[in-house]
Structure formats: structure tokens, C-alpha cells
Amino acid sequence: MDPNRWMRDARRKLARLPSLRMARIPDAPALPVRDPWPGDPNRGANLLKGDLDLAGSLATLKPGAFAEIAGSDLLRACAHGFTWLRDLRALGTDGARMRARALVQEWIAAPNLEPLAQRPDVAGARIAAWLGHYDFFAASADDGFRQRLMARLVADARGLAAALPTEELDARALTAVKGLIAAAVALPEHAAFLTRALRILPQEINRQVLPDGCHCERSPAQLLGALQDLTEIRALLQAAQAQAPTALGAAIERMAPALRSLRHGDLGLALFNGTKEDTAALIDLVLVQAGRAGRAPTALTEGGFHRLQAGRSVLIVDCGTPAPAKLDRFAHAGTLAFELSVGRDRMIVNVGAAPAAGPEWRDATRATAAHSTLTIADVSSAELKPDGLGRRPEVVEVQRQEANGAHWLEASHDGYKKPFGAIHRRRLYMSESGEDIRGEDVVEPVAEDVGPQPYTVRFHLHPDVDANLQQDGEAVLLRLPAGSGWRLRAEGAKLTLEESIYLGGPHLRRAEQVVLNGFQDGPQQVKWAITKVG
């Protein structure tokens, strides 16, 4: 057995024993802890009906449901983590307050909670949520409820302190540390909580936040969540008048510009590796809390993303190797995929994500065919597994040049080397006006005896784009909501307009995709262009 795991298990068992000092359970938090993030009153209204919505996936959350919550691990972790209390708070009615109180009481009294409910990140999220919304659902409750709540908070914090450092190596570790720091602020008589959290925090930051500010999971959504956690931690330490580690402020300063680099013109996030658009207001608030202004960098070299921007056009490309094992729970097979927006209108997108859905939907959105890139023989460039990726691109090379406002980018990946003996090479050009974007996709054999392969290049269109195939079948006219027209044409492939779906927003929407089918008996390359009309 892993000695570190053995030590964690031993600490957890000791933490569950009654304290020898028989410390008094406080009547209320000693210092207020505030949840700084906005809730959604619509989701709050759904919670009153018993429906918990996470990224478009639903779970039943009614009194008596905690012992038998159905759904994915992510959905059940959300239910046990109580971050949805902010949605009831946003609704703000007495009914919402009473439902919040009833569900907390129900959870405390539940006799057979699943082990996932005590996973460190889930416990950390729950502690922070209960303390962050204490004034909303608990301050006006009777003495008995508040005493049971505080007793459970102390017990969970002790268990969390014993469980750290957690086995989860991704952003969940930051959520666990945040919960322990929140407990330390609210329960200052437990000084050991803060000591342990501050011992672990710097190593987690150094391991998770890359030098360019990207998060190690290579997901814009996880970068946003990690930045939220770290800004909360900084505010908690300030409230406790505790010295923050140097790594904390330095990480926040790097992460904020990186997050800006992964936003489109509508100020939502690019849809890579388990990410949905998210609300511009939330992202703005996180950046305000981070307190770092400045322009978005054009390249995140360690994270593997490039941003090409000219005129009103923004093109964001995934040019990185997938996140390594144990950090790839949200990884998609989307290497060399790109997204394109013009002003506030998204034009070319990836399908999006269903991170809290069942395996069929989740894997469908993770497949290469759900991204605006090239696919060989309908096989994904990485092998999709329930907990991450198997076979994957190991070498991704990229070169970039800029001159007089124009951009050139050439990138390649070897994700198809093992199954097909081929390299995918993509060349992109954006003019200085941003109104002429050209590309070339090549299937390059790695040996002379490798035969040609059937391949497809997809351009998934945002649902708000109006697309019409021209009569000659050689181009598609695209009309954006703001009124501008664009033409997508191709050379060396058969061009069709097919159905698609879009999961970048809160709900599934029908969409279309431009599909270029390469000729297996011809050159293994296709050239294409997206140009403004008029």
C-alpha cells in the first residue's frame, strides 16, 4: 500500500474519534465568511421543485434524496458540495431560505451517505458553502439546528484536515484547501486547520498553475474555477489577518491574463476540454476579484493555446499535448481544433461539453468529430476513457509568425501515428484586417509504405449562424447575427452542410457543420478559406 495513503487513512480514523479535549462546539462562526459569487435565481426556482441543474444535467434533490442521488460522479459531488446554495440565495425568498435549511438538515441527519460525500474536495466545497451562506439559511434558525450545523462543520473540518494532501491531483485539491481555510477563519480556536492548509497550499499552486498562468488540466473552465478558489483563499486569509504565501499572489497575477486570452468577443470562454461558455458577468467578477488588468497574451506556450486576433476577429487554437494522466479527467480529443468569433458573434465553434452527463453524451462531446479539426477514418486523435485518455498525441509542434498585423501559425500532432502511421499538420493564416482567414490541413505519412487514409475536416457552426450551401457546392455562405456575411470555400475535398448540435450554452441546441471529405485516392491535403463578403 502507498505509505502516503496509509497515513491519510490513519489520520482520518483518528479525526473521527471524539476529541480528548472535548472542545466546546461554538454557537456560530467566530468571523463571517462570505461567498462572493452570484447565484442563478432560475436554478434556485428549479431547486424548489427538486431539480438540481449542473451544466445541463439534472439530479433530483428533494428531502429524503441524499442517500440515493442518481447521476454522474460530478453531479453527485455537486449535490453533496452545496455550492447550489448560492442559487437559492439568489432567489431570495422565504421559501428558498426554508428549502436551504431543510436540505442542510436533511443531509446532516442522513444515515447512509455515499463515500463520495466525504471526498476532500466535496467536503471542502460543502464547508465553504455552509459558512459562506450561513447568514442566509442558518442565522435565523433555532438553537438546535445551529448547534447541529456547527458540530458537523467542526467534524467535517477535522476529517478534511486529516485527509490532506488529497489524492486528487487536479483543481479539486484547491477546493479542498479552500474549505479548510474557510473553517480556520470561522473556527479560530482550531489553529491547526490553518497551519495545515498553509503548508499544503504553496505546493498545490506550484504543481497546478503553469508558468504562463494556464491550469494544468488545460481547460478554460478549470482555469476559471481554480482562479475563483484562489481569489477566495486570498480574501479568507485577509479576513483572518494571516500571511498569504508568496506563491498565491504570483499565481493569481499569471492566471488572470491567461483567462482573458481564452475569451471570445462575447466575453465567454472558448470551448476546449470540458468547457462551456459560462456567463460573461461571472468571468468579469472573477477578474475584478483577481485585480490584474492588462491585455490578453497571444500565446500560452505551456498551456498550449494560441490566440490570433486582427480587426474584429478572434481565432483560438488548441496547440498543446493533452493533460497528463490523473489531470485529464476533462480532456477532449480536440488537438489542433480552433474556434473563430467576429465581434460578439461566434462563428466556428467546438460542440461544447457535457461534463456532468452520462458516459454516452460525455464521450460524444469529447470525440475529435465534435471539434473543428481533422479526423482520420472517424477515429479520434486520442483514446477516450472514463477517467481520462488512453492513447493520445505525444508530440505537438507549433511555429508562429506575425508581420504587419497578419498572423501565420503552423502546428502538427502525432495522435494518428500509432493507428494510421500519419501526422496531422494544420496551417492557418489571418490577414491584418481579420477578414481573410485561410487554412490547410494535411495528412502526412510517417513512412513511404503508409497508404492514403480517408479523412474529414469539420467546421462546427454556432447555432446563431445562418448557413446556406451555394448551388455549385463549392462554398457555404454564412450570415452572422450582427449582419456580416462570410464565405467558406474549400479546394481538394467534397464540401457538404450537415446537422450538428451545440452544448456550449446552458441547454442543447441544434446547429450545423460544414464538412470537408477528403478524397482517399487523391492528395492527402485540403485547402480552405473563410472570407468576409462585401
Go through 290-322 and write b for each residue having 16 or more CB atoms within 10 A of its CB, e for each that does not. bebeeebbebbbbbbbbbbbbbbbbbbbbbbbb
Go through 212-247 and write b for each residue having 16 or more CB atoms within 10 A of its CB, e for each that does not. bbbbbbbbbbbbbbbbbbbbbbbbbbebbeeebbeb
Confidence of residue 2 (pLDDT cuts 50, 70, 90): low
Rounded distance, CA 424 to CA 405, Å?
Answer: 27
531 exposure class (CB count in 10 Å sphere: 0-12, 13-18, 19+): middle
Predicted pLDDT at 20: 37
| Sign of CA pseudo-dihedral 354, 359, 361, 366 | positive
pLDDT in tens, 196-215: 999 999 999 999 999 999 99
| Nearest C-alpha neighbor of 396 from the set 418, 413, 375, 382 | 413
C-alpha cell recorded at residue 139: 442565522
Mean pLDDT of 495-520: 95
DSSP class per residue in 266-327: TSPBP--SS-----HHHHHHHHHHHT---PPPSEETTTTEEEEEETTEEEEEE-SPPPPTTS
pLDDT in tens, 146-180: 999 999 999 999 999 999 998 888 999 999 999 99
| Nearest C-alpha neighbor of 262 from the set 202, 290, 221 | 221
**Helix, strand or coil, per DSSP, at residue 31:** coil
Predicted pLDDT at 5: 55
Mean pLDDT of 450-468: 95
Mean pLDDT of 79-84: 96
Predicted pLDDT at 85: 98
82 exposure class (CB count in 10 Å sphere: 0-12, 13-18, 19+): buried
pLDDT in tens, 298-318: 999 999 999 999 999 999 999
Q: Which helix (H) or strand (E) holds 437?
A: strand 436-445
pLDDT in tens, 399-457: 999 999 999 999 999 999 999 999 999 999 999 999 999 999 999 999 888 888 899 99
Predicted pLDDT at 17: 45
Predicted pLDDT at 414: 98
Of the given ranges (15-19, 191-195, 489-493), which has the lowest mean pLDDT? 15-19
DSSP class per residue in 505-528: SSS-EEEEEEEEEEPTTS-SEEEE
Domains and CATH numbers, the chain: 3-163 (no CATH), 304-533 (2.70.98.70)
| Nearest C-alpha neighbor of 304 from the set 382, 213, 381, 374 | 213
Q: What mean pLDDT, rounded, does the chain reach?
A: 93
**Helix, strand or coil, per DSSP, at residue 387:** coil
Asked whether the beta carbons of 164 and 194 are under 8 A apart, the reply is no
Predicted pLDDT at 38: 95
Predicted pLDDT at 166: 87
Rounded distance, CA 83 to CA 450, Å?
Answer: 52
Q: Which amino acid belongs to residue 501?
A: I
Mean pLDDT of 386-402: 97
| Sign of CA pseudo-dihedral 431, 436, 440, 441 | positive
Asked whether the beta carbons of 303 and 309 are under 8 A apart, the reply is no
Residue 22 predicted with pLDDT over 50? no
Predicted pLDDT at 490: 95
Whole-prediction pTM value?
0.94
Predicted pLDDT at 463: 98
pLDDT in tens, 107-132: 999 988 999 999 999 999 999 999 99
